[in-house]
Amino acid sequence: MSTPTLDIRNLTLGFKGYTGFTEVLHGISLSVEPGERVALVGESGSGKSVTARIVLGLLQELRTARIGGSVLFEGRELDGLNKRERHALRGKAMSMIFQDPTSSLNPVFRISDQFHDVLRRADPRITRDAALERAAAILAEVSVRDAERVLNAFPFQLSGGLNQRVMIAMALANEPALLIADEPGTALDVTVQAQTLQLMRKLVEEHHTAVLFISHNLGVVREFADRVYVIYKGRIVEQGPTRAVFEGPRHPYTRALMAAVPRLTGGGIPDIDEDSPDFGAPLETHDAEGRA
């Protein structure tokens, strides 16, 4: 088998605060193969975004965070990298799409300058003209027709949908090996969210990008992902090929998630009995055929 693009092993995370130490990830293991689309699904506060932030090397810089276990990116241990090396990986070998495009676009710079910055990460000597030409080509891939106007604009001059396209284009501009999408488009309306997913899907297929897709929307996960991990309170409770997990959920939490009314903004998970004997079961794993 090839080296996974991302291989998280027994990852733990805790935060030191005034009231003591709180562990929020209790030993998570998860992998994404090259070109594979993997979803991490679970309710609010279960630990999805912090997992993404560790992969991106962002929590390592937080004084209160304590991280254990290991994260291998293309076979390399992230823990062995210094701040500068982690920074170099972000935006080049791995990139991220956020829930809300305005949180990743800088309001005070024109889109053209932001593109130039992104492209410089992979090619420090790229000229402004070459960067703009490349930016226009990528914008065309996300169906932005008037690239010139968009490149000249500041983010606030563009609609939410256009900003979202710009963000996807920037995230994929350097052909990263790994794309992390944390609830992409959920801050926008339903139509934009659907378009975002469609574009993402097309681009990652064409560029053979590995994707870690974070969501609490099961409908979207079922559409998008090849494989699913279900996270509950900082633990992976079930994993397997999307179809197998959806057709035969085994863990009570996964069943409860699926029984909840599907809503684009998540929530609505019914009460589950954590004291029931099946709840404390070890990790439920489906193989490719969906057998136990």
Ligand X SMILES: Nc1ncnc2c1ncn2[C@@H]1O[C@H](COP(=O)(O)OP(=O)(O)OP(=O)(O)O)[C@@H](O)[C@H]1O
Phi-psi region of 82 (alpha: psi -120 to 50; beta: other; left: phi over 0): beta
- Name the one range near ligand X by CB under 6 A: 38-46, 71-79, 135-143, 160-168: 38-46
Out of Mg ion, ligand X, none, which partner does residue 240 contact, by CB within 5 to 8 A per kind? Answer: none
Contacts of residue 279, defined as CB under 8 A and 6 or more positions apart, other chains included, come to 251, 252, 253, 272, 273
CB closer to ligand X out of 17 and 80: 17
Q: Do the beta carbons of residue 260 and residue 268 sit within 8 Å?
A: yes
CB closer to Mg ion out of 180 and 203: 180
How far CA 215 is from CA of 25, 77, 104, in Å, comes to 17, 26, 18
Residue 41 identity (one-letter amino acid): V
Size of the site for ligand X (CB under 6 A): 11
Binding flags for ligand X, 196-235, as an x/- string (CB under 6 A): --------------------x-------------------
Q: Which of 4, 47, 57, 240 binds ligand X (CB under 6 A)?
A: 47
- In the complex, what is the shortest distance from the CB of residue 267 to ligand X, in angstroms, rounded to a whole number? 9
Encoded tokens for 90: 């972000």
- In the complex, what is the shortest distance from the CB of residue 182 to Mg ion, in angstroms, rounded to a whole number? 6
- The candidate with the shortest Cα–Cα distance to 212, out of 39, 16, 6, 68, is 39
CB closer to ligand X out of 28 and 118: 28
Q: Which of 24, 122, 153, 260 binds ligand X (CB under 6 A)?
A: 24
Out of Mg ion, ligand X, none, which partner does residue 188 contact, by CB within 5 to 8 A per kind? Answer: none
Residue 149 identity (one-letter amino acid): R
CB closer to Mg ion out of 49 and 196: 49
Residue 205 identity (one-letter amino acid): E
User: CA 3, CA 206: separation in Å to the nearest integer?
Assistant: 20
- Residues contributing to the site for ligand X (CB under 6 A): 15, 24, 42, 44-50, 216
